[in-house]
Structure 1
Amino acid sequence: MRYQQVFWDFDGTLVDTYPGMVKAFGEALVACGVNDFEIDSEDIYRAMRQHSLGTAYQRFTAEYQVDRDRLSKIYEQLAVPLLNETVAFPGVAELLATVVASGGRNFLLTHRNRRALDRLTTLHLDQYFSGYVTKDDDYPRKPDPTSLLALCQQYSVDPHAAIMIGDRNLDVAAGHRAGMAGALFDPEHLIVDESQPEIRVTRMADLQAWMTEK
């Protein structure tokens, strides 16, 4: 394996959560009084994918003049059950298993709470992970590398032997700031490359081929 220690983002990398997130966000806007015909789901998706959920809050609360706290509360209520409908991206299980079979380890770094771990268990992916950091651990958010460095210290990981895989520039930037390589997973070519990842792929199969090539 090119890298034996692999750090993973959750949303949009391991699991395709964005359809549910966009649906919940749109429904939350409607609940806040926005007319349904004014809402562009593609715009919401792009804001989340290219930037973050926080950016979506900032942009659309200003655009539609709605209260952020109310929108956030309604969104969280609507989004939680939709997590149970999410599926892993094709090729994820295979790459996770290949890392473990080669003597490597997988780690999870997510801004979600421990419900992300529950979803990995349901999808039978938890067996491939050696450690994790979630929102409940209260580390600074990516691209701050503190959470990655904490995992490295806890599990005796040499950052130079590690790679961070994510679907946004902030994931790659967090990896680089921790001394790791970075892989950008961008299925729809939506991300403007500002983080200079070591590799950029649209399919997990391509990442696996690169990770295992001799």
Structure 2
Amino acid sequence: MNILWDFDGTLFDTYPVYTRILSQVLGETADKQEIYEKLKVSYSHAIQFYNISSEQEDWIKKLKKEITPEDMKPFNGVEEILKFANKNVIVTHKSRKGVVDILKYYGWNKYFVDMVTKDDGFPRKPNPSAYKHLHEKYKITLAIGDRKLDLLPAKELGISTCIFQNQVDIADYQLQDYTEFF
């Protein structure tokens, strides 16, 4: 089995850190659960919803630079799936350096044969170009993501899909916890 993974919210539980940052920028009156839910749609959706100013965006960027790999905890059980797969690849809107730093911190860089990041020039998801590129190289059999936009490109290419900790009508499989996989 060759698996294409989303990064944020799929391999690593990054939303709590991003929720904390956005809450800090918006102020204590902002509802953290609502922030989390908006971020789960997409970062740009949350930015639009809260009408983030350019000054606030700069502050967010500054705070994001303070995030360490230790702040990005892997989901329980995901490493067993990485070991099980024949090949693992990543498609993410994160920077390559950010992804590699986190993977190295946890010793997980050995599990991935390739990745497409925001640095590679592909259009953002749900455009299927990055998925198509990796599918042609590795014959992907399953795409795992936590948002609908992570699954749409896979569906377009005929790849089976799995939604993690979410519910969408296009997913072939749904997981709330990776320990359910085995």
The TM-score, its normalising length taken from structure 1, stands at 0.80
The answer to whether the 8 Å contact 2:167/2:174 transfers is no
Q: Highest CA radius of gyration, 1 or 2?
A: 1
1:161-176 residue pairs with structure 2 within 5 A?
A: 162-176=141-155
Aligned to 2:19: 22
Where do 5+ consecutive residues of structure 2 fail to align? none
What is the SS of the residue equivalent to 2:150? helix
Distance 1:96 1:88 in 2: 12
Go from structure 1 to structure 2 and tell me whether the alpha carbon gap of 1:78 and 1:181 turns closer, same or farther (over 3 Å shift).
Answer: same
Distance 2:32 2:68 in 1: 18
Aligned to 1:212: none
What is the SS of the residue equivalent to 1:82? coil
Indicate yes or no: 2:78 matched with 1:81.
Answer: no
Indicate yes or no: 2:77 matched with 1:91.
Answer: yes
Indicate yes or no: 2:90 matched with 1:108.
Answer: yes
The answer to whether the 8 Å contact 2:10/2:144 transfers is yes
What is the SS of the residue equivalent to 2:12? coil
Aligned to 1:121: 104
The partner residue of 1:151 within 122, 126, 134 is 134
Distance 2:135 2:148 in 1: 21
Superposed CA offset, 1:156-188 (max 9, x none): x335xx1110011111112111221110001xx
Superposed CA offset, 1:119-150 (max 9, x none): 01111111100000001112111111100111
Distance 1:24 1:146 in 2: 31
Distance 2:7 2:34 in 1: 21
The answer to whether the 8 Å contact 1:144/1:177 transfers is no
Aligned to 2:45: 55
The answer to whether the 8 Å contact 1:8/1:165 transfers is yes
Letter in 2 for 1:106: N
Go from structure 1 to structure 2 and tell me whether the alpha carbon gap of 1:192 and 1:165 turns closer, same or farther (over 3 Å shift).
Answer: closer
Superposed CA offset, 1:74-133 (max 9, x none): 11211232242111000011110111xxxx100011111121121011111111000000
Number of residue equivalences: 180
The partner residue of 2:163 within 155, 174, 184 is 184
The partner residue of 1:197 within 144, 157, 171 is 171
What is the SS of the residue equivalent to 2:161? strand
Distance 2:68 2:147 in 1: 20
Distance 1:112 1:176 in 2: 22
Letter in 2 for 1:56: A
Structure 1's consecutive aligned runs of 4 or more residues displaced over 6 angstroms after TM superposition are none
Distance 1:120 1:78 in 2: 21
Where do 5+ consecutive residues of structure 1 fail to align? 31-35, 210-214
Letter in 1 for 2:61: E
Distance 1:56 1:22 in 2: 10
The alpha carbon displacement at 1:152 in A equals 2.3
